[in-house]
Amino acid sequence: MQNSTRPLTFILKEFNQLDLCELYSLLQLRNEVFVVEQNCPYQDLDNKDFVAHHLLIYSQEELVAYARLFRSGISFAEASIGRIITSKKVRSSGMGKILMEKSIQSLYELYGFQPIRIGAQCYAIPFYQKFGFETDGDIYLEDGIEHIEMCKKN
């Protein structure tokens, strides 16, 4: 999907700045991947959307990647990135790398240069290690999927 004729649009907004179409698109993408594709019925709406910055990446008019960014003290003691997701249509295109680079950069711009913690699905450990994240703790089950905390200490 991504190529030189389809530039990417990056949007970073607080919850109350999202328009209805942006909100619908991000919830639709999260539902498509986390609930349907991963066959994991879980409560996605956890009230953290209200205190997050939302990073949306569009190719043309279509949302292709998304993440939530949090200041320290919300999800973890450290600042954090969550709901890291790419559309199935752009997987293996480098979009995940773009999303993580922009998420880390945006988090530093919002909250300063500091450690970042994530709760990663275990299969994705090698992917996050490419960005300087290291496993920190034991594997745990979240909604029936193995996760592990990872921290980028800078």
Specify the higher pLDDT residue, 142 or 65.
65
Confidence band for 3, pLDDT divided at 50, 70 and 90: very low
Q: Per residue in 101-120, pLDDT tens?
A: 999 999 999 999 999 999 99
- Three-state SS at 50: helix
* 55, 17 Cβ separation under 8 angstroms: no
Q: Per residue in 54-67, pLDDT tens?
A: 999 999 999 999 99
Cα 105-10-106 angle, rounded to 5 deg: 15
Residue 137 has pLDDT above 50, yes or no: yes
pLDDT at 12: 98
Residue 4 has pLDDT above 50, yes or no: no
